[in-house]
């Protein structure tokens, strides 16, 4: 377990400040792609936006719970 501690701390330090920025950048790129593709149907765009928002929330909560349980495991192992 001690081999993973530096790696996890680096991932946590990099993701927590920049995670929302990365998601915003990805959604901006997807928005530009959809604009240049010129979708006629706004309903399809709305559905795709909701799906991407749901996926981003699931990714965020999964990562935060993993970090929380990792911290709890570190605290209990000492």
What pLDDT score was predicted for residue 78?
A: 61
- For the chain, the domains span 4-77
What pLDDT score was predicted for residue 11?
A: 72
Global pTM reads: 0.43
48-59 per-position pLDDT tens digit: 777 777 777 777
5-63 per-position pLDDT tens digit: 777 777 776 666 676 677 777 777 777 777 776 666 666 766 777 777 777 777 777 87
Structure tokens at 65: 């719970």
Query: In 3-state terms, what secondary structure has residue 2?
Result: coil
b/e string for 48-63 if b means 16 or more Cβ within 10 A?
A: eeeeeeeebeeeeeee
């Amino acid at each position: 377990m001690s081999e993973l501690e530096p790696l996890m701390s680096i991932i946590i330090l990099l993701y927590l400040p920049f995670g929302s920025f990365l998601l915003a950048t990805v959604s901006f790129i997807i928005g530009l792609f959809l604009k240049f593709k010129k979708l006629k149907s706004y309903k399809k765009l709305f559905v795709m936006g909701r799906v991407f928002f749901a996926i981003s929330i699931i990714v965020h909560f999964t990562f935060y719970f993993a970090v929380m349980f990792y911290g709890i495991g570190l605290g209990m192992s000492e």
